[in-house]
Amino acid sequence: MKLAIILPSLRNVGPVRVAYDIVCGLSDRTDIEVTVFYMQDIVELKFPCEVRKLGLFNVFDLYSFDVIHSHMIKPDFINGFLPFFKGKKISTLHNIVESDLFYSHGAFLSKVISRFWLFLWKRMDKNVVLSNVAKNYYSNFGLNANKTKVIYNGVQEKNSNSPLDKDVLQRIVQLKEKYTILGTICLFNHRKGLEQVINALPYLKDCAFVIIGDGPVKDELKQLAHELGVESRLVFLGFLHNASSYLNTFDMYMMPSREEGFALSLLDAVVAEVPTVCSNIPVFKESFEPDEVSFFQLDDTESLVDSVNTLKTNGCKFAKRAKLKFQDSYTQERMVENYTELFDELCRIK
């Protein structure tokens, strides 16, 4: 089987990382030849296969493949409109499209773009979604449920051992001398709901909130912290290439998202056995049980404070149970096995 994977870039972000983990998992398979095509010159991940920049002069190379697997809207556009392609086309849908686009583009553009994206997905032979929540959503959105398959994201169980920046590490160590560290890693906007944690800090006087990443609402979060008098307990560490290496410096991991596809950072925290607080959105409730992560009600500060306090006394028990769930359901091996079965199934269909 010849498999082409089309990506918007080779940037180390969620959808690209999923493709990277699939390719790594297939690297020992002699019966599957993988080539990665990327569209934009941002290269942060080194794939263990042939990699080509996709442009007008080599787009016809795609006709030599049995399966084309695309991720995100520009690759889906290429995949969906490739004329007279005789192989099979797959897309992985990494988000709940309309609500995700609402946070980044506003109400009008979210409706326009999501309808166009739906048109592209209908041209695929199979669409992969990341949860049953997403499958139900897209069935109501207009996708054929029989052509939609649920495959949970998975990550490697081995923790990152990349070297830590001494200055960054020192800042965290100094905070840990005084406070319980609530941490998160994300590229954030309003969808990530980080302001909920800041609103809780006045009631969690022994806690500091550390954020690795960046985003368009950073100034708003700083202003909120200033208004609440907790700016000394809100620390932005910026974008770090080896962000997951810092997970073990956190006492708790915070996932206060208002909407998610399937958060890889949550799985990374579980692998590192960091007790985790999650908003009670449907995708998180599908993924983990209330005795594996500590859930809170969205926009309910008292509920969030209670969730943090629960983990102060029972965090180790929660983290161990969450790790067992990960090992059963969310490993890289399990994800790759499910994708491989899908590729094989499609290639058997005449």
Helix axes 332-348, 14-26, angle to 10 degrees: 80
What is the reported pLDDT for 349? 65
CA distance 247 to 271: 10
Q: What is the pLDDT of residue 144?
A: 93
In Å, how far are 80, 130, 159, 335, 345 from 263, measured between CA atoms? 26, 10, 17, 14, 27
3-class SS shares of the chain: helix, strand, coil, % to 5: 50, 20, 35
Measured between alpha carbons, how far is 148 from 136 in angstroms, rounded to an integer?
10
Parallel, antiparallel or unpaired: strands 33-38 and 50-53: parallel
pLDDT at residue 160 in the model: 60
8 Å CB contact between 170 and 143: no
Q: What pTM, to 2 d.p., does this model score?
A: 0.89
At 241, give phi and psi (nearest 5°).
Answer: -65, -35
User: How confident is the model at residue 172, as a pLDDT?
Assistant: 93
Spatial separation of the C-alpha atoms in residues 71 and 94, rounded to whole Å? 8
Q: Where are the alpha helices (DSSP H) in the chain?
A: 14-26, 73-81, 97-105, 107-121, 132-141, 166-176, 195-200, 218-228, 264-271, 282-287, 301-329, 332-348
CA–CA gap between residue 243 and residue 249 (Å, rounded): 11
Q: What pLDDT does residue 161 have?
A: 65
Residue 340 pLDDT? 94
CATH superfamily of 166-329: Glycogen Phosphorylase B; (3.40.50.2000)
Going by C-alpha positions, the residue among 10, 9, 55, 12 that lies closest to residue 264 is: 12
Q: Which amino acid is at 129?
A: V
Alpha-carbon distances, residue 117 vs 77, 147, 259 (angstroms): 8, 16, 19
Q: Domain limits of the chain? A: 2-154+331-348, 166-329
CA distance 235 to 7: 33
Query: Do 2-154+331-348 and 166-329 fold alike per CATH?
Result: yes
Q: In sequence order, what are the residues at sequence separation of 6 or more whose Cβ sits closer than 8 angstroms to the Cβ of residue 158?
A: none
CB 71 within 8 A of CB 7: yes
- The tens-digit pLDDT sequence of the chain (350 residues) is 999 999 999 998 889 999 999 999 998 888 899 999 999 998 889 999 999 999 988 999 999 999 999 999 999 999 999 999 999 999 999 988 888 888 878 889 989 999 999 999 999 999 999 999 999 999 999 999 999 999 999 998 876 667 888 899 999 999 999 999 999 999 888 999 999 999 999 999 999 999 999 999 999 999 999 999 999 999 999 988 888 999 999 999 999 999 998 888 999 999 999 999 999 999 999 999 999 999 999 999 999 999 999 999 999 999 999 999 999 999 999 999 999 999 999 887 64
pLDDT of residue 163: 81
Spatial distance between the Cα atoms of 104 and 10, rounded to a whole number of angstroms: 21
State how far the Cα of 282 lies from the Cα of 286, in Å rounded to an integer: 6
Extract the tokens encoding 321. 């149970």
Q: Both tokens of residue 34?
A: 């993988």
Count of alpha carbons within 13 angstroms of residue 348, beta-carbon side: 6
First-last CA distance in the chain: 14
* AA identity, residue 261: G
pLDDT value of residue 14: 86
Fold of 2-154+331-348: Rossmann fold (3.40.50)
